[in-house]
Amino acid sequence: MTHTRVLCVAIIIVFLLFAFVNFTKSLTPYVTFAQAKSSRGSVQVRGTIETSGALSRQSDGRGSILRLRDEAGEVHQVIYRGALPDGVDKAESLVVVGKYEGSAFMATKVLTKCPTKYQEHVSK
């Protein structure tokens, strides 16, 4: 009976280690563009869209190019292949998830941050 108990405990430990390793791999930290350049995996960069010429469609029509200013003040080009979320041009800030490929940040997700959307509407 002790062999069965040891085997069960070993299986539980292996499962917990496997779950922990996979969970830590799925975490995507917030970084600046400078930190994203040196990162190998996917990261999140929080920033604001530059006001002049910051949002354009790619010539093939299959993606968008954003100019995003991160929290450190650096402005970089972000390429996103997909449909941008509604209100991206009016969002207070954006979070782009992805990684650097060459000189451009290739985003796999673009998330809008609009806290005013959740504020209670005041009637006059």
pLDDT one-digit tens code per residue, 57-94: 655 667 888 889 999 999 998 999 888 887 777 788 88
| Domains recognised in the chain with CATH numbers | 29-118 (2.40.50.140)
Global model pTM greater than 0.75: no
pLDDT of residue 117: 52
For 75, the enclosing helix (H) or strand (E) is strand 75-80
CB 54 within 8 A of CB 120: no
CB 67 within 8 A of CB 53: yes
Euclidean distance between CA atoms 19 and 31, whole angstroms: 25
Q: Give Cβ neighbours of residue 1 (< 8 Å, ≥ 6 apart).
A: none
3-state helix, strand, coil in the chain (%, to 5): 30, 35, 35
Strands 55-57 and 43-49: unpaired
Instruction: Please determine, for residue 56, whether its predicted confidence score (pLDDT) is greater than 50.
Output: yes
Pick the closest to residue 85 from 102, 97, 69, 71 (CA basis).
Answer: 97
Q: What is the pLDDT of residues 30-53, one digit of tens each?
A: 899 999 998 888 889 999 888 665
